[in-house]
């Protein structure tokens, strides 16, 4: 069953020192399961805020968001069970091993196969030899692989990634992009990535630029990059 997220006339503003700051106003945007999207733009444009609104984790100042699944049209509150989130800072629990970090979302849902599924996903992202290591014992690229496995372990319909390669060196960033796009494609998950990286943005099927409170579709930059297929 395919699904999509629709934002209609979404605005976001907040008060700073008795002044009102508007990030964006009356935005309209839709993203579909099985497609990949990049959101680019200058710092402070509101990219991360838009990602949080789109995922249903924050509420807009005005406007509405909808989660359409088959013939059902619901508010974005119903989307939370069907999303995974990947952050720039990894947000792994330091006291847990890699496998327990990945298994945690499943355990919270009462899944008795949580450990086995977590182990399988760590194997898919190339970390079968590191499952019993804690985050402090892993490199930045390895920690982000754990974060990807954690986000995808319950096979969500949509994955939201906020600067997923922002803290990584070029080689690690490329490897993470390979894994992220391949895993989402093979699992038919919609992927929405906020990034400053032109190379990462060009991996997406659709690119949107957020600037000056408005969002616009953007053409891809032609590159000679070879996209590496990763089995997931």
pLDDT value, residue 17: 83
pLDDT at 1: 65
Res 146: pLDDT? 95
β-partners of residue 72 are: 69
Q: Domain residues of the chain, as ranges?
A: 3-218
The domain 3-218 is placed in CATH, from the list 3.30.70.20, 3.40.50.300, 3.90.1580.10, 3.30.365.10, at 3.40.50.300
Confidence at residue 226, expressed as pLDDT on a 0 to 100 scale = 45
The separation between the first and the last C-alpha atoms of the chain, rounded to the nearest angstrom, is: 21
Cα 129 to Cα 114: distance, rounded to the nearest angstrom: 18
Tokens of 32: 């579909």
The number of helix segments (H) and strand segments (E) in the chain equals: 6, 10
* pLDDT profile of the chain (232 residues), mean per 10: 91 87 92 96 92 93 94 91 89 96 93 95 94 96 93 93 90 91 93 94 95 87 52 64
Nearest alpha carbon to residue 124 among 36, 230, 9: 230
* Structural contact between residues 196 and 168, judged by C-beta atoms closer than 8 angstroms: no
Residue with tokens 């892993």: 138
Concatenated DSSP letters of 45-87 = SSHHHHHHHHTTSS--SEEEEEEEETTEEEEGGGGGGGEEEE-
């Amino acid at each position: 069953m395919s699904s999509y997220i629709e934002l209609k006339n979404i605005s976001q503003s907040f008060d700073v020192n008795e002044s009102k700051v508007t990030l964006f106003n009356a935005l309209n945007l839709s993203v579909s399961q099985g497609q990949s999207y990049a959101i680019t733009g200058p710092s402070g444009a509101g990219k991360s805020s838009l990602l949080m609104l789109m995922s249903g984790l924050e509420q807009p100042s005005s406007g509405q968001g909808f989660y359409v699944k088959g013939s059902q049209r619901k508010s974005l509150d119903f989307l939370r069970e069907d999303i995974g989130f990947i952050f720039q800072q990894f947000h792994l629990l330091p006291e847990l091993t890699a496998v327990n970090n990945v298994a945690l979302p499943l355990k919270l849902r009462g899944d008795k196969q949580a450990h086995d599924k977590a182990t399988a996903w760590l194997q898919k992202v190339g970390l079968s030899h590191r499952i019993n290591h804690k985050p402090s014992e892993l490199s930045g690229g390895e920690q982000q692989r754990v974060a990807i496995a954690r986000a995808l372990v319950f096979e969500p319909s949509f994955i939201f990634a906020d600067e997923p390669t922002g803290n990584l060196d070029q080689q690690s960033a490329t490897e993470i992009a390979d894994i992220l796009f391949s895993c989402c494609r093979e699992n038919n998950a919609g992927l929405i990535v906020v990034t400053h990286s032109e190379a990462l943005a060009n991996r997406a099927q659709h690119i949107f630029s957020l600037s000056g409170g408005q969002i616009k579709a953007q053409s891809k930059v032609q590159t000679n990059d070879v996209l590496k297929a990763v089995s997931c």
